[in-house]
Structure 1
Amino acid sequence: MLKPVAECMIVDSTALPEQVVRDVVRSAFASAGQRCSALRVLYVQQDIAERVIGLIKGAMAELQVGDPRLHQTDVGPVIDKVARDKLQTHIQALKNQATQVAQAPLAAACEHGDFVAPTAFEIASITQLTQEHFGPILHIVRYAADELDSVIAQINQTGFGLTLGVHSRNEGTYRHIERRARVGNCYINRDQVGAVVGVQPFGGQGLSGTGPKAGGPHYLLRFTQACDRSQAQRQSKAQTKTQAYSASAQDANQDLHQELNQCPDNQGKEM
């Protein structure tokens, strides 16, 4: 069964925890988690999971939720009440089905507006998620080093593949993941939101894809039609020759009429 949750990040034991947490918090909670590329599921190798999760707790405790017009605000409201209610329902369900890692505090002013507290849960598997929850909710899954290929397979089996984040200082590991993950954009050792227009072409694969990436070198081809240039040149030459022959024949015909009309025996006769 396809699960429409594919915006994941894989963190192995060689990653720098502080850098990971910075990029996780931005990827999961910037724009209140309402970006198509926002992080939904964080896979952390169990060797460093406690350290990373502890730092995530601390970072989330510092998040300021409130009016996005204020400079001190880190996370604003979600788009409307319907979205807020759906997200709150999912949070309440996970409180009975998973382990809550952290939840950012909400100021009293957030009672008026469609605010959702950024929340992180630890779950057993991505298969617990049956749909994407478009908001500031992070799901964390631990994995063993020898389960990496299984993790990649689980992500691929969702059928969706827009973005994937990878944190590793081992070039062999992140290249192994990049080659096997069926996603449009794979970000290595950085956050996975905010592709720079004109620099980083953006688009997905599978059910997240619509063809060539917008902004990429092949994007213009979407607006063109394939044409055999050699065939077109042959057709053009043939047409030119035909036009030249027709013009020559017409000129010869006109010259013949003029000569016949000038002949004394044919003067006064209809041709």
Structure 2
Amino acid sequence: MTASLKPVSSAPASVADEARAILARLGVPESAFASTGRPALSPITGEVIAHVRETTPDEAKAAIGRADAAFKAWRKVPAPKRGEFIRLLGEELRAAKDDLGRLVTLEAGKIVSEGLGEVQEMIDICDFAVGLSRQLYGLTIATERADHRMMETWHPLGVCGVISAFNFPVAVWSWNAALALVCGDSVVWKPSEKTLLTALATHAIVERAAKRFGGVPEGLCEVLLGGREIGEILVEDHRVPVLSATGSTAMGRQVGPKLAERFARAILELGGNNAAIVAPSADLDLALRGIAFAAMGTAGQRCTTLRRLFVHESVYDQLVPRLVKVYGSVKIGDPRAEGTLVGPLIDKAAFDNMERALDEARAAGGKVHGGGRYTDVANEGVYARPALVEMPSQTGPVTRETFAPILYVMRYSDFDEVIALHNAVGAGLSSSIFTLNLREAEAFVSAAGSDCGIANVNIGPSGAEIGGAFGGEKETGGGRESGSDAWKAYMRRATNTINYGSTLPLAQGVKFDVDA
């Protein structure tokens, strides 16, 4: 192995040492690394863990070609048999859970329970997909023509491209890949350039499952490592009929039109300026716990992070001071340490964006509690104090997503007014209300309530289960992944009419008789 995997820090608890051991146990090949490749850094310490060999444009195109050929073979494998491959993948993930979860912590900066929880999501979606492999069903439809049968069938679509973000470096791939593979598609994955090691480790696990399965066509699961140029190749290649892209709304504005131009199917999972409402009847103890996790979990770097909080004026003075106290006492630091709840930001650019947003909030009359650089950490990572900002109104930075632990808090007095404020932003991913009032709860989840893809009652907007379809509306992109019937995005539908009679009646009573 090249010198690229040697630790570059002399610190006694080197992240690079730990990551190196995990990568070796998970079977990541030496050929994945090169001394002059892209550096893979840990946000925990800022140190370089390894240098990763990037995919060249020609290699990316060849990988897509292999995936296209693999699809043509894989689609002929019976769906329950494809499900067996995913069952084996789930077994391999169970065996590797501790190592892969730890690697997520080292490379993405998540606390240990969140790193493990992300791998559990992968295991859960494999279980879901195995059952799905025997339920890829269509409808039998009543027909107006005698001696005819009409039905719909579902068929594999082709190569499924996946572009994932750093904050869920492995789970998002699995939401797409597990479904796409049981549907009969092949998968080409372009992970975030900030989390390349977890992608390599995941690919090694997939290859172990494939070896156990036997007969997996070459190219069924490909990984492209690199930056924007590699992602653009995946977006623009006509051999990729469906692409799932997770990232910012700005990224979606670039990817969406390119996919539409070539009539490819887009599954866009973009930004989320998520809000919660605390109503007069709310269980405030429950609300406080739900708000704290949703707003500060993953250091505010989830697409479902709680960013706006509307508190009824009758309970504002009971809840907000308690929240401020929690913000001042939450444990920040090395995510590997026991008791840590808030780890590092992914990089300094994220911290700079947070500081700019807080400056803008102050200029708009906001009162900032917390915020700023947290320096009581014995390493070079970028750590920030979560910020709670009491705002006079929903203006300025409140109306847009800042990918950092900032929670804007505002008073409200009228339910209809707060629903309007809740919906008055571009994104429409996740939302929640804390209330014991049945009318308010039902109104919130009704057609006239939250306009988001996820609407929760008495839990926060963060932490979705895989059984439900995940995704949002408006500037969140409209995509759906994971559970429910999200599988349909990875397949094409055919409506079939079969005439088992000896006459040829036409629909709608049309007559077209010719001499035969």
Q: TM-score range by the shorter chain?
A: 0.7 to 0.9
Partner SS for 2:482? coil
Q: What is the Cα deviation at residue 237 of structure 1?
A: 7.3
User: Number of paired residues?
Assistant: 229
- Deviation at residue 201 of structure 1 after TM alignment: 2.6
Q: Whole-Å Cα distance in 1 between the matches of residues 379 and 410 of structure 2?
A: 31
Corresponding residue number in structure 2 for 1:120: 388
* Counterpart for residue 20 of structure 2: none
Aligned to 2:462: 193
* Moved beyond 4 Å, runs of 4+: none
Q: CA deviation at 1:64?
A: 1.0
Distance 2:401 2:439 in 1: 31
Aligned with 1:207 (options 458, 475, 481): 475
Q: Is the 8 A contact 1:8 1:43 kept in 2?
A: yes
Displacement of 1:111 in angstroms is 7.8
Does 1:15 pair with 2:287?
no
Tell me which residue corresponds to 1:40: 307
Q: Which amino acid is 1:103 matched to?
A: G
Q: Deviations over 1:42-80 (max 9, x none)?
A: 000000001100110121122011111111211011111
Deviation per CA, 1:200-237, whole angstroms, max 9, x where unpaired? 331112221334x32233212223333333x2x12x87
Q: Are residues 156 and 209 of structure 1, via their aligned partners in 2, closer, same or farther at CA, if it must alter by over 3 Å?
A: same
Q: CA RMSD in A?
A: 2.3
Q: How much does 1:194 deviate?
A: 1.5
Mapping 1:21-36, distance limit 5 Å = 21-36=288-303
Superposed CA deviations along residues 7-58 of structure 1, whole A, max 9, x for unmatched, are 0001101001111111111100000000000000000000000110011012
For 2:434 and 2:322, how far apart are their aligned partners in 1? 15
User: Taking CA–CA contacts closer than 8 Å with sequence separation of 6 or more, which of the two structures ends up with the larger relative contact order?
Assistant: 1
Judging changes above 3 Å, is the alpha-carbon distance between structure 1 residues 160 and 66 closer, same or farther for their aligned structure 2 residues?
same
Q: 1:206 to 1:95 in 2, by over 3 A?
A: closer
Structure with higher strand content: 2
- Listed as ranges, the matches of 1:103-114 within 5 Å are 103=370, 106-109=374-377, 112-114=380-382
Aligned-partner Cα distance in 2 for 1:47–1:111:
44
1:181 aligns with 2:181: no
Change (3 A) 1:99 1:210: closer
Find 1:72's aligned residue among 324, 339, 364.
Answer: 339
Equivalent AA in structure 2 for residue 66 of structure 1 = G
Alignment check: 8 A CA contact 1:62 1:104 kept: no
Contact 1:66 1:107 in 2 (8 A): no
TM-aligned CA deviation for residue 110 of structure 1: 6.8
- C-alpha distance in 2, partners of 1:107/1:81? 13
Q: Mind listing any 5+ residue stretches in structure 1 that lack a counterpart? A: 239-271
User: Take 2:376 and 2:426, find their aligned partners in 1: how far apart are those partners?
Assistant: 41
Q: Any idea what SS the aligned residue of 1:132 has? A: coil
CA displacement 1:222-256 (0-9 Å, x = unmatched): 23333333x2x12x878xxxxxxxxxxxxxxxxxx
Could you tell me whether the CA contact under 8 Å between 1:57 and 1:101 is conserved in 2?
no
Q: Which amino acid aligns with 2:294?
A: S
SS of the residue corresponding to residue 113 of structure 1 reads coil
- 2:366 and 2:490 map into 1 onto residues whose CA distance is 49
Choose the corresponding residue for 1:139, options 383, 401, 408: 408
State the Cα deviation string for residues 155-212 of structure 1 (Å, max 9, x = none). 3232321000110001110111111211111111112211122x3331112221334x
CA spacing shift, 1:217–1:237, aligned 2, 3 Å = farther
The verdict on how the C-alpha distance between 1:117 and 1:214 changes in structure 2, with shifts beyond 3 A counting, is: same
TM-score by length of 2: 0.42
Counting only pairs closer than 5 Å after superposition, residues 217-256 of structure 1 correspond to structure 2 as 217-229=484-496, 231=497, 233-234=498-499
C-alpha separation between the residues in 2 aligned to 1:225 and 1:119? 46
Contact kept, 8 Å, 2:333 with 2:383, in 1: the verdict is: yes
Contact 2:469 2:482 in 1 (8 A): yes
In the alignment, the residues of structure 1 paired with residue 351 and residue 371 of structure 2 have an alpha-carbon distance, to the nearest angstrom, of 16
Amino acid at match of 2:273: A
**One-letter amino acid matched to 1:74:** L
Work out which of the two has the higher radius of gyration on C-alpha atoms and give 1 or 2. 1
- Tell me if structure 1 keeps the 8 A contact 2:389–2:407: yes
TM-score, length-scaled by structure 1: 0.77
Relative distance call for 1:203 and 1:237 in structure 2 (3 A) is farther
- State how far apart, in whole Å, the 2-side matches of 1:163 and 1:62 are: 27
